[in-house]
Amino acid sequence: MTQSIGPATGTADETPTRPPGLLSLLLADKFATAAVVFLTLVVFSAVFGPALLGDAASKVAFRGRNIAPFQFEHGWLMILGSDSLGRSILARIVVAAQNTMLVAFLTVVSAGLIGGTLGLIAGYSRKLMSDVILRLADVIMSFPSLLLAVIVLYMLEPAVGNLVLVLAITRIPIYLRTTRAEVLEIRERMFVQAAKVMGASNMRITFVHILPMVLPTLLTIATLDFAFVMLAESSLSFLGIGIQPPEITWGLMVAQGRPYMNQAWWLSFWPGLTIVLTTMSLNLLSNWLRTVLDPTQRWRLEQRKEAANG
């Protein structure tokens, strides 16, 4: 009896051919592949960069100040030029990947967890609770985020953790509203009714039955939001209220190059270009994820894959 209602897990055997795996679907999409390759490189830099190039990134050489890019006599580390203190720009970009990625990653994870949970509660609980949570989101959205950043970063110190705190607070409403909207629709479906009839508790229905349905959407938003948070962090660092030197992020590097714009454009150009390439990769990946994770859209990719093979 219960088997006919439960999720259809054994359907793979009934279809004549197995659907293509995620990896082959990814390889069929040139742009998504390029994005994943670039993001892997960035993650690698973030994890191992400071250990590998930390010394090169902080080595000051006043005789080699503002070396122009693509001059090979100074060694491969200077291929992107050097900054106003003679430090290798390439090494600094690789090392700065850690702070940039760390802030964005922690922000997205904490905002996603808190916003997602609140959204689940708001969507599945009674009107009063849901109203309170939604008004909370309204207050956050109308509070000037710049002012919030200054208040928090002056009261506490402008370290990675506090920057994450500020950014996460401002991003919670996005996850909250999306999750709630999805839950409102899903809770009316048959399988939720069935679970309720069989006596499942509210907790169980929310986290075991509804959450897996919301997760793909949350994942897509998180990828997109990762790019947004990176831009927000670099704006704060650029304005001088984010990460403080000697710590570095890409946004801070752009800001540090600003006074030298007349003589040395490459000081700001390369870190900015790195930001653009990273956010662009994230956007492309998010688009691809949205298609792959949506069963009604996935056939498009599978068809394209078949067309590419045959």
Partner 1 sequence: MGRFVLRRSLFSLFSLFGLLVLVFFLSRLTGDPAALYLPVDAPESVRQAFREARGLDAPLLAQFGDFLVNLVQFDFGDSLRRQRPAFDVVIEAFPWTLALAGITMALVLVAAIVLGALAAMKVGGIFDRISSVISLTAASAPDFWIALMAIFIFAVALGWVPTSGTGTPWHWILPIGVLFVRPFGLILQVVRSSMITALSSAYVKTARAKGVRQRAITFVHALRNAMLPVITVAGDQAAGLLNGAVVVETVFGFPGIGKLMIDSILQRDFAVVLAAIMLTSLAIFLMNLLIDLTYAFLDPRIRY
* Helix intervals (H) in the chain: 2-5, 22-28, 30-58, 89-124, 127-142, 145-155, 160-186, 190-197, 202-204, 211-239, 250-257, 266-293, 295-309
Q: Binding-site residue total for partner 1 (CB under 8 A)?
A: 35
Instruction: Give the per-residue contact string, 182-221, with partner 1 (x = CB under 8 A; - = no).
Output: ----------------------------------------
Stretch binding partner 1 (CB under 8 A), from 53-61, 115-123, 157-165, 270-278: 270-278
Q: Which is nearer to partner 1, 90 or 192 (CB)?
A: 90
Stretch binding partner 1 (CB under 8 A), from 40-48, 85-93, 151-159, 177-185: 151-159
**Do the beta carbons of residue 251 and residue 238 sit within 8 Å?**
yes
Does 103 bind partner 1 (CB under 8 A)? Our answer is: no
Among positions 105-134, residues that touch partner 1 (CB under 8 A) are none
**At which residue do the structure tokens 């580390």 appear?**
77
Residue 257: CB minimum distance to partner 1, A? 8
Three-class DSSP category at 309: helix
**At which residue do the structure tokens 């714009």 appear?**
261
Q: How many angstroms separate the Cα of 134 from the Cα of each of 67, 108, 131?
A: 53, 20, 5
Binding site for partner 1 (CB under 8 A): 138-139, 142-144, 146-147, 150-151, 154-155, 227, 231, 234-235, 238-239, 241, 251, 254-255, 257-258, 261-262, 265, 268-269, 272, 275-276, 279-280, 283-284
